[in-house]
Every structure is written in C-alpha cells, then in structure tokens.
Structure 1
Amino acid sequence: MNHAIHYSIIASDLAAHLFEITLTVAEPDPAGQVLCLPAWIPGSYMIREFARNIVQIRADCNGKKVALKKSDKHSWHAAPVTGALVVRYQIYAWDLSVRAAHLDQTHGFFNGSSVFLAARGHEAAAHVVDIVKPAEPACKAWRVATALPELKAKRYGFGTYIAASYDELIDHPVEYGAFALATFTAHGVPHDIVITGQVPNLDMARLQADLKKVCEAQIALFEPRSKRAPMERYLFMTLAVGDGYGGLEHRASTALICARADLPVKGRSEQSDGYRTFLGLCSHEYFHTWNVKRIKPAAFAPYALAAETHTPLLWLFEGFTSYYDDLMLVRSGVIDEPAYFKLLGKTINNVMRGSGRSKQSVAESSFDAWTKYYRQDENAPNAIVSYYTKGSLVALTLDLTIRAETAGKKSLDDVMRALWQRFGRDFYKANGGRGVTEQEVDALFDEVSGLNLRRLLDRAVRGTTDLPLKEVLAPFGVAFAPASVDTAAGLGVRTTRDGNDCKLANVYEKGVAHKAGLSAGDVLIALDGLRIQAANLNDLLHRYRAGDTVTLHAFRRDELMTFTARLALDDAPQVTLTTLEKPPALRKARNAWLGK
C-alpha cells in the first residue's frame, strides 16, 4: 500500500463557505477502505470534531456508487471494491481561527487536519494535492501560500503539491487570497511573510528586519556552530483582522491572526505594545519549530489524532517556549531591556493573580489541558494554573538557578541544546528521533547542569508552592517593587463589557466581591446609588479607600440583588521589576543572561 494518495481541493462556493474535496485511493484496502478525519490538531489540545463540518460525502469506483457506512463520529467504511476508490465530499469552512478552515470572498485558509480524510493503512504513502484555482471573479488575483513542496506548481501558484506522508500533509496549512508578500533570509534560509487582509501603510520592511533578527537568534541558540536551520524554507502566514490574536505552529510555517493595528506603520518609529505583542507571538511560534515540532513528548511520537493524548510535559513545550519568546526578542535587540522586564513583570502578575496556582501544578495543568485549560469557565482563575505562564516562570527559575550555581558556565540554553541534539535534530529523518519522557527530562537537567535539581523540579513542576522568583532574580540585579502607591480599593474581579453594562467575568477567590456574595455572570448596576457602566467602574471605586463599606446592586439573571461589600486592597498587588547597576557583577550576570 505505497501508492500515492491523491486529493484535489477547490473553493466551490465562497458565499456558502464550502470546499469541495476529491480523494482518490488507487489501491484501497480489499476488506473495505476506512477513511477518517482527525478529532484534534497538534498544538491545540482540545477535541474539535472536524468531521462535523463534512456537509455531504459520497464514493464511487469505475463510475459506480460505493456504499459508505459511518463507523464512528469521524470515520467511514467503504464497501470493498476492485479499482480506484474516489471519494467526494464538502467541508463547511467558517472557523476564523488558526485551527481549522475558513473561506469567503476575501480569502481561503485550511489546515489539512480539518479537510483531508486519511486513508487508513496508507498514511506512510506520498500524498499529492491539487489546489485548484476557483473560477469566481473575486479570486482572480488570488495566490497560494504554503510550505508544502511544489510538485507541478510555481511557488505561490495554484497547482499540485506533495507531502511524503499524511503526517507531513496536515502539518502544512494553506492560505490563499490577494496577500502581501515579503522575503528575508535567516542564516541562509529563505523566510517568507504573507499578510492577508487590508493593512494600510504596512511597514513590511521593518517587520522583515525585526523577524530576521529574531529568527537568526533562535537558529543560533540551537545550532551555535553551524547556524543550520532545521527547514529549507519557512513561512509566516498572518491574517490581519479588526480584533484578533492567535498562532499555531507547524514544522516549516506558522499560521497567525492579529489585529491590523498591531502591525507596524510606515513612518512611525515607535514600538507600540501591540507590535511588541505580535513580535512575541511570531517568536513563540517560531521557537516551536524546535520545541514540540521536533523535540516532542513521547506521547506525541507519533500523534494519535482520534482521541485525547495526555502528557504531563506541556510546561516544557509551551511554558519554556513562552519563556524564550520574549527572551529572544531582547537577545536579538528587537526590544530593549526595560521592555523585556515590563513583559516579565506582567507575566508574574498574571500568575500571582489566580489562586488556582496553589491548587494545580503545571504538570497537572499539562495533563488536564484537554478538559480544563482549553475548556475554561468563569471559575478557572480559582481552580487552574496556566502551563504557559507559570511554565515560563519555571523556565526562568531553572535558567537563573543554573546560571547562578555554575557561575555562568551553564544555563537553560545548554539543556535546550541537549534536548535538540538527542531528541529533535533527526526526528523527521529515517529511523530518526523519538519523544522524550518525563523521567528523561528530569535526568537531563542534572546531567547538563552538573547540579542536583530534582528538589527544585519537584517544587516548581509537580508542586503548588510559589516559585522563589525574588531569590533567583536577585543575583542578576533585578528586584521587585510595588507597581503603584495608589491606595484605591478594588473588588477582586475581572469584568467584561456586555453592551454598556459591566458584567463580572471572574470573581477571584477570597476577594471583596467573593466575600460579599457576588458571582461571575452578575451584571453590576449601581455602587452607592450611582449607576455602573462598563467604562466607569474604576472611576467610581477610585473615590473609595480600603475599609469603606459600599452597597452594590446587580442583576443575576433577571433578578435584582443587593450586596454589601467592605472594600480592601487587592490581595495580589501588582509589582514591577527594577534593575540595579551596582555592583558591576550584577550587571555582568544580567548581560550574559539577556545576551548583551
């Protein structure tokens, strides 16, 4: 069963958001070919049931109809045939995200995991895809952006593409439309940037220059001598919208969504918070080229896409990537030191805000990603911890501990390089790499650092006590300071706008609102008789101080309720990070850490 599997895909109805796919299996299973669509996409740990978007499906062989029987929620069993099996089906594509498929008159986008049925037993065969240009006038100027190798197509043109296996096929998303395109090289490897969506006065040259620095810094981190990237080319695919944020990593590309306001503007040299956030997103997804796309947890080698695949190691693969994304921005010179410590301080504050950090370890958070992290409810801050944000602080703690205790001779960089050399570098080669286990990760930290880090790993990864951040930052001349001397009290809530109303999204455990009896979902109406709206709650609270007692009116569903609250200062005060220049040893250690 090594004959190539053939697909054709065309945007058949832009207004109805329908892709038409034809799958041809030259030598189907004599017992009846099984066809299935993944239930989830690597990098996004939630069952998404992509098969629910199949609108209709039919099969034939030699022009005669072939019976298809659905065997489970995402699988079909074709009756035995003699000759090639041809399966035709429609996919409804209206998910404006990086995880599935989207199609309208402005562009088309799809991940293979959401549109290409797998022919069971043929996954190791070559997979050929004809991407057919739509005939509609709106598509006249459309081009194709994908990292899939071309078979009978010009780069960025419609035509035929090829993947060595089904796993490779679904690891190369496709974007097509009338997009902006630019190219830069990073240590000799071409990197393309595609921007879909209207972005007036886009400063593409600045984006190219900044991403080049970040990419070269990351390539050099993993391969400091050869500066050899693990791919022949790389593609940043970005959809610019009015308000959006997200990214998903792939082996030679990333799919991104951002607010168009976050992209750089010609003639404006200042670096906005939004642009800094977008660069951090690009850095994060690019770092995954090594950390999770090639260095993988054992549970993901290979992926089992029919059901949840649990691993306790997402703190390493997502958390460490979250640590390095901003760190590589400052090391590459794209942001300055004050900007980096502002970002780091924000991460620390976010982690300290939720009491869930004292109830769930990052190892548990990793394992429960499918049921808790990706399916958060209003009580999430009080029940769970993010393996992204706390995981990044675990990386910080380990990095600075290793640096301090080895007098700068070793660091987390050395651990990442060891993971790359042993588990990632040869992963996609014949008889190549394998996934890493939790036990191997623990042992590697001790081996590479020359230290005994087991107790710290148990505390940081498998425990729920707060990390010793003040202690590990001190030898690098970084100190905690209150973010504000403001004595105004708060309610201990996170609010969201519901029209003009102020709705409670989260009520933090043991905060003022919790003690007063308020709940997530309540709509605040008045404070001491003054109307509360989405935009004025902080202004009203600013006139009060800790210890003051106030009356709050709120709607819970359609019932008006009254609450008495005794205001207090925030239980999780915000902090900023300040840097010290003396003695010089502190500055020297910090320079080595930040790559100055």
Structure 2
Amino acid sequence: MIHYRISAFDPKAHYLKVSVHIAQPVQPVQYLRLPNWIPGSYLIRDFAKNITELNVTNNSGKTIHLDTIDKSNWSFKSDEAVIISYYVYAWDLSVRGAHFDQTHAFFNGTSAFLEVVGLEHQACQVTIEQSNISHKNHWKVATGLPKIDTDKQGFGLYQADNYNALIDYPVEMGAFTEIHFSACGVPHTMVITGVFDCDESRLKEDLIKICETEINLFGRPAPVEEYLFQVMVTGSDYGGLEHRNSTALICSRDDLPYKGMQKATDGYLQFLELCSHEYFHTWNVKRIQPKVYQDSDLQTPVYTNQLWWFEGVTSYYDSLILHRAGLVDTPTYLQLLAKQMTRVYRMPGRFKQSVSESSWLTWTKFYQQDENAPNAIISYYTKGSLIALALDLTIRKATQGKKSLDDILLYLWEQFGKTQIGIEDGQIEAICSQVSGVDLSQFFEDYLFGTKDIPFAELFAEFGYHFGLRAQSGLDDLGGDQGGDLVNDAANESVDSALPNHLGANISATPQASLKITHVWHNQPAYQAGLASGDEIIALNGLRIASKAQLDNLLKRHDNNQPLSCHYFRRDELRSTTIKLEAPLKDRVFIRQVPDASSNIKWLS
C-alpha cells in the first residue's frame, strides 16, 4: 500500500509539504509521474512545474539517485522501502489546482500526489497532518476522502481505493463555515471559505430542493453515501469542477444570498445554477462516462466528440432543475434560458465550427480561446445545451409527450452509469433514436455534426411558447424579454428599446477611464474600420469617451448616415479611423408563453 503524507507547511512561500512511502518499489526500475491535466478540465496544465526539492531516500536516510525523464516523469532504482519527499507550490486560486496562504489551503490530488507507476491500482492511504498554521488558526479539514482515523478537526488518516480515486477527492483546510443538510436521507455539507455575508438558512433550503430534485430524477438511492460542496468566495470569480462525491466551486461574494433578500438576484441564481450543474455531474460525467475517459492517461490529451452530451445536456438541466424544484417560476426560467441561448446566437463562430468538432478540439480551441474565438468557434456547453433543448422538444413532439430527454438520461443511467460501462463515440446518438422511437439521424447530422441553426420558433410554437430574436438594447444587454405585446413582435423589437446602431464589438471599461475592445465581430462596423482586440478607444467625434454609459448614449443619438471619427491607442501608438455604424443584428433571444395557446403536449410541468 502506498502511504502519502501532506501538510500546510509554509503559507508565506505557499508550500505544501508532501511525502510518499513505498514499501516495495517496482523492480528493476520504479517510475513516478504527476498528471498533466485534471479530469473535467481539458487543458494540459503541467502541474509538475510546481514541484520543488524532489528527492528519494531509504529508511536510513540515504539519498537514492533520481532520474528526470521529462517534465512530469521520473525514475529511480531501489530494492528496499523508500520515502519520496517534495514541496508543492500552491498559488493557483481556482478549482483546478492548489492554493495556500494564511487563510486556507486547498488542493486537488492531481497537483499534490505523485503516481507510483505499476502500483497505481493498489489502495492508497493519506495522512493529512496538522502544521503550525493549521493548529494555530484552528483549521478543519473538508474532503470526500473516506476516513480511517481522524480527529474532530478532520486531521488524520484517510484511504482511497487506488490512485485514480485518490486524485478525485479535493481537500480544503481552513476555518470555513459549514452548512449541513440531508437530501433524500443522504448527508450533505457545504463549506464556504473567504470573506462573505450569507443567509445560510435560505441557501440550505434551496440546496435541499436542488439535490432532492436531481436524486429523484435519477431515482433513489443516490450513488453517494455523502456529498460535499467546497466553496471558495472571492470578489469576482466563477467556476466549478465535479468529483465523485464532491464539487469544488468558486464564486463572487455578491452571488451568495443575503439576509432580507426578497427576490433572488441574478448572481444568486447563477450560483444556484452552478451548484445544480456540478451536482448533476455526480451522475452525468462521474458515472455515465465516455469510455475514453475511464482510467484515461492524464499525461496526454484524450479526444471525444461526446462533450455535447456531458456538458451540454448538463447545462440544459442545470437551470431546468431550478424550475422543477420550484426555485424559479416559468417567466424567470424563460429569461434564464433566453440569456443562455443568446450566448449562442451572438456567436458567428456557430456557422464555422460544429459542436462535435468543438468537443474534439476542446484541448486547444475551446480551452485556449483568444480574441477571435467568437468568430471561429462555438461552445459545446452553450450550443450543446441548445441541442439538448431541441432534442427534448423534438422527442416530446414526435411522441405526443410520451417520451422526453429524461427517458434518454435514465436509460443511460441504468445501462451505463450503474454498470460503469463506458460510452463509445456515436453511441448516445443511436440510443436517442432507439429509446425515443424517433429517427433522429438527420437531427444530429444538421445540428451536432453540422452548423445549421435549430428552428426554435417552430419547435416552441408546438408547446405554446413564442421564440423571437430582437436587437440589442444596450451594451450590457444579455438577452431575454424586454416586455411588449405578443400580438405584435415589433413591440419587443422596437426602435425605442433597441440601439439604432452598433459597433460590432465587445467593450470593457478600463481603470484609465477609457474603453478597451475585447472582441471584434467580422464584417461589422469595428472590423470594417480596422479596429482590433486590445485597442483602447479614447474619443469619438472629438469627444472623450470614458464609460459604457457615454458610448451607449452616443450610439443611440448618432445618425448612421454620418461617419463617426474615432481616436484610439493601439499599444502606445495613437491612431485614428472612421466608423460607419450599422443597425444592430437581431441576435438577442426572448421566449414567452402564448396566452390561451392550445397545446396538448407539455414541456414545463
């Protein structure tokens, strides 16, 4: 059995101290390695770059020569027990790596624990040790690792079935806030680290509704004996990463509910969606899995076109679960859905890249996006969620409501999730047709492997909903219903509520009281004027422009027939150009229920 020891060693240097005891190394050569990527996040991250002072000694303290093979692989020769010791530099404040300072310590096993090649299928024991800082500050430990012998604070001995299990239990140490609750009889805990203000009672009740809705969707019993939400609170971050019985989350302090909050804020709904999304992965990713991700080699990229299902379907259900749980009413859900759909309709890249290709090339094009991304790629999260929505509506329509996407999901859970059989590329698409009884081959050819827009207006109409596209009403308009009259679509797309013209670029404010271009859309005004990502606009028509509000006001007042002079900095060079504005595209989605619509097929119920 491999035995790891880890402690929060030096908060100023951000060093975690790790040792690995190997009772009987593999003969004649023992290889060691650290993963280059973490499951659920498809980017080569080279975690080994953060390892320092790596050495091997025997039980007598004699140093054993260690060969460095490459950036993340090592080897040594020994026929007796050895201790491998090293430090991990932990300064990545994210859900993917490791972070340690005077306030807390967090790490994933992929950042901290070397794999002992050849012995990776053996059980692993881990001792999480008290250190000066953890003892002084009364830190506790929160992890999904199975306990063997721990104290009241959680320090002590844990055990994992094998190395792949070991690296799937992130660890949080600190003086965190704990929220305990039960969902369908399963103990759940949320630990929250950081500076924040939160209505813990409201959060607890909302989490219970989300977790019970998802457990009941897939069927009891839940596939975990307990579950842990690990939340890091900062000023503006957002993200999550799923694990077998836990999730690591990061959010803005403004996203948490505050005492006295009446209506849920957009930020809080976003946080609940994040919790719903990562919890859904307990079934759809951690147990229903692509075959290529089962025991995959974490040294090199692994390719699949199935992420449309694993992330796209999960993204469809994350907000739908809020509606089914009674946390949002139908108009609010339709607003959330419209904003999600708008993120796709704004991207001209949806006509350049299929969702299947987006999944296959996630290692480069999706996870390493640049300023041209909106013009060149599409997200398998957002477009994948639209495919899931369209698939759900299509199946319900074709079967008169007797089948839905839920049936596909439950089939995969019974046949693949519970049995841990991996899914081959192309298999899910065939299963969708098989389970629904509907030939969906052309559907997938057009929308998964092709780049066609889905005919949502027709699909929604079958269920008594109106789908429409309207023009942008302001620089911060993210989509959704602006009000108006369903009898006349122009009420939602009127000139009064929309910008009469636009730049065709994404703009962000800078600390220098100017506006910086972050993305330029091809063949639109900023592009035609020669502007590029990174350009800093300082004046339009001879007047200083220092805020989005000023730009919004100018765009609403300016006549398209009059060219707009623009002064801007590209790096440190002052330049000028002329912009000819155009009417904005209708790319903001809105969805409404049609009053007294006659439809016998239910979608939201």
Whether the TM-score (by the shorter chain) exceeds 0.5 is: yes
Asked if structure 2 preserves the Cα contact closer than 8 Å seen for 1:147 and 1:253, the reply is yes
Query: Match of 1:158?
Result: 155
| Superposed counterparts of 1:65-104, under 5 Å | 65-78=63-76, 80-104=77-101
Alpha-carbon distance in 2 for matches of 1:240, 1:438: 37
Match of 1:524 in 2: 537
Q: Distance in 2 between matches of 1:156 and 1:504?
A: 49
Alpha-carbon contact 2:2-2:23 (below 8 Å) kept: yes
Is contact 2:8-2:133 (8 Å) kept? no
Matches of 1:137 and 1:121, distance apart in 2: 34
Give the corresponding residue for 1:215.
211
> Could you say if the C-alpha distance between residues 137 and 447 of structure 1 is closer, same or farther in structure 2, counting changes exceeding 3 Å?
closer
Deviations 1:424-482 (Å, cap 9, x if unpaired)?
Answer: 1132xxxxxx2111221121011100010000011110001111111111112221243
1:197–1:239 Cα contact (<8 Å) kept: yes
- Cα 1:156/1:408, change in 2 over 3 Å: farther
Match of 1:377 in 2: 370
- Is the alpha carbon distance of 1:576 and 1:545 closer, same or farther for their aligned partners in structure 2, counting shifts above 3 Å? farther
Contact 1:233 1:252 in 2 (8 A): yes
Pick the aligned partner of 2:262 from 269, 272, 275: 269
CA distance in 2, matches of 1:387, 1:566: 34
The answer as to whether partners of 2:500 and 2:584 remain within 8 angstroms in 1 is no
Judged with a 3 Å threshold, the aligned counterparts in structure 2 of structure 1 residues 238 and 139 are, in CA distance, closer, same or farther, namely farther
1:299-314 to 2 correspondences below 5 Å: 299-314=292-307
Does the 8 A contact of 2:366 with 2:379 survive in 1?
yes
CA contact 1:549–1:566 (8 Å) conserved in 2:
yes
Residues in 2 aligned to 1:156 and 1:416: alpha-carbon distance in whole angstroms: 39
Equivalent residue number for residue 204 of structure 1 = 200
CA distance, structure 2, for counterparts of residue 183 and residue 73 of structure 1 = 42
Q: Report the counterpart of residue 294 of structure 1 in structure 2.
A: 287
Number of the residue aligned with 2:488: none
SS at match of 1:438: coil
Q: Report matched runs for 1:111-126 at 5 Å.
A: 111-126=108-123
Identity value in percent:
47
Counterpart position of 2:487: none
Task: Tell me what 2:476 maps to.
Answer: none
Q: Does 1:494 align with 2:506?
A: yes
| Superposition deviation, residue 545 in structure 1 | 4.0
**What residue in structure 1 maps to residue 477 of structure 2?**
none
Tell me, in whole angstroms, the C-alpha distance in 2 between the residues paired with 1:165 and 1:73: 24
Question: What stretches of structure 1 of length at least 5 have no aligned partner?
Answer: 428-433
Alignment-mate amino acid for residue 32 of structure 2: L
Q: Deviations over 1:256-304 (max 9, x none)?
A: 0011111011222221100000000000000111111111112112221
Matched, 1:593 2:603: yes
Checking the alignment, whether the CA contact within 8 Å between 1:146 and 1:156 is kept in structure 2 is no
Post-superposition CA distance 1:123-179 (Å, at most 9, x none): 111111000112137743210000111011146511111100111111010001001
Q: 5+ residue gaps in structure 2?
A: 471-481, 483-492
Q: Distance in 2 between matches of 1:460 and 1:443?
A: 15
After superposition, the CA RMSD in angstroms is 1.4
Paired residue secondary structure (1:372): helix
- Aligned partners of 1:222, 1:104: CA distance in 2, in Å? 40
Match of 2:173 in 1: 176
Alpha-carbon distance in structure 1 between the residues aligned to 2:532 and 2:586: 19
The reply to whether residue 580 of structure 1 matches residue 594 of structure 2 is yes
CA distance in 1, matches of 2:454, 2:597: 25
| Deviation readout 1:472-525 (Å, 9 max, x if unpaired) | 111122212435522431101101233222111000111111111111111111
Query: What are the equivalent positions in structure 2 for 1:396-545 lying under 5 Å apart?
Result: 396-427=389-420, 434-481=421-468, 482=470, 483=482, 484-485=493-494, 486-499=498-511, 500-535=513-548, 536-545=550-559
| CA deviation string 1:282-330 (max 9, x = no partner) | 0000011111111111211222100111111111111111000001010
Decide whether the 8 Å contact of 1:365 with 1:386 is kept in 2: yes
Aligned twin of 1:45: 42
**1:83 aligned partner, one-letter code:** E
* CA distance 1:138–1:512, shift in 2 (3 Å): farther
Range moving further from structure 2, 491-500 or 363-372: 491-500
Alignment of 1:202-281 (within 5 A): 202-223=198-219, 227-281=220-274
Does 2:102 correspond to 1:105?
Answer: yes
Contact 1:547/1:568 (<8 A) preserved: no
Q: Which residue of 1 aligns with 2:474?
A: none
Taking structure 1 as reference, are residues 84 and 534 closer, same or farther at Cα in structure 2, changes over 3 Å only? farther
Deviates more, 1:472-481 or 1:378-387: 472-481
Contact 1:487 1:546 in 2 (8 A): no
Task: Name the structure 2 match of 1:9.
Answer: 6
Q: In 2, are the aligned partners of 1:478 and 1:578 still within 8 Å (CA)?
A: yes
1:431 is matched with none
The corresponding residue for 1:430 is none
Equivalent positions of 1:313-352 (< 5 A) are 313-352=306-345
Question: How far, CA to CA, are the matches of 2:185 and 2:560 in structure 1?
Answer: 59
1:26 match = 23
Q: Secondary structure at the match of 1:465?
A: coil
SS in 2 for 1:494: strand
Cα gap change, 1:85/1:197 in structure 2, threshold over 3 Å: closer, same or farther?
Answer: same
Contact 2:499–2:555, Cα closer than 8 Å, also in 1: no
Q: Does the 8 Å contact 1:502/1:534 carry over to 2?
A: yes
Q: Cα offset for 1:547?
A: 3.7
| Number of residue pairs aligned between Structure 1 and Structure 2 | 577
Following the alignment from structure 1 to structure 2, what is the Cα–Cα distance between the partners of residues 133 and 56? 21
CA shift for structure 1 position 184: 1.1
| Contact 2:242 2:281 survives alignment (8 Å) | yes
2:348 to 355, 373, 383: 355
Secondary structure, counterpart of 1:570 in structure 2? coil
Instruction: State the alpha-carbon separation in 2 of the partners of residues 99 and 414 from structure 1.
Output: 33
Letter in 2 for 1:519: A
Give, in whole Å, the separation in 2 of the partners of 1:196 and 1:547: 54
Report the 3-state secondary structure (helix = DSSP H, G, I; strand = E; otherwise coil) of the residue aligned with 1:542: helix
Q: What do residues 191-242 of structure 1 show as CA deviations (whole Å, max 9, x unaligned)?
A: 1111111223x2111111111111111111111xxx2101100001101111
Which letter maps to 2:74?
W
**1:185 CA displacement:** 1.1
SS at match of 2:274: helix
Taking structure 1 as the reference length, the TM-score comes to 0.95
2:490 matched residue in structure 1: none
Q: Distance in 1 between matches of 2:106 and 2:207?
A: 23
* Contact residue 32 and residue 74 of structure 2 kept, 8 A: yes
Query: Given that residues 503 and 534 in structure 1 are in contact (C-alpha distance below 8 angstroms), is that contact kept between their aligned partners in structure 2?
Result: no
Distance 1:394 1:31, change over 3 A: same
Amino acid of the residue matched to residue 148 of structure 1? Answer: L
CA contact under 8 A between 2:102 and 2:133: conserved in structure 1?
A: no
